[in-house]
Amino acid sequence: MSNEVSGISKTRGEQCINIFVSSELKGRLKGLAERYDRTLSDMVRAVLKIGIPMMEGLSQAEETMVREYIHLFRRLRQVKSLKDI
């Protein structure tokens, strides 16, 4: 069950994601959808498109902080071992 779309074979449902969210989050998404006259699916897609770059930025910042912390910890440990000599 695959269909051809501009030369690329896609399995039916390949682009589908099922997720479970809290009723509070679903309510907020439904409220936004109603407020701006959009479907719930449109709101979820918009939130994902906006949220992915933010999550990438946060993850990169976290990686940098951990790397810098490890570097600083190693440097302080070297200084302490030099003082012990």
Distance separating alpha carbons of residues 38 and 43, to the nearest angstrom? 7
Q: What is the pLDDT of residues 31-80, one digit of tens each?
A: 999 999 999 999 999 999 999 999 999 999 999 999 999 999 999 888 87
Does residue 62 contact residue 70 with C-beta atoms inside 8 Å?
Answer: no
Q: Output the pTM of the full model.
A: 0.60
CA–CA gap between residue 25 and residue 31 (Å, rounded): 10
- Quick check: helix, strand or coil at residue 4? strand
What average pLDDT does range 10-14 have in this prediction?
Answer: 74
For residue 1, the model assigns a pLDDT of 46
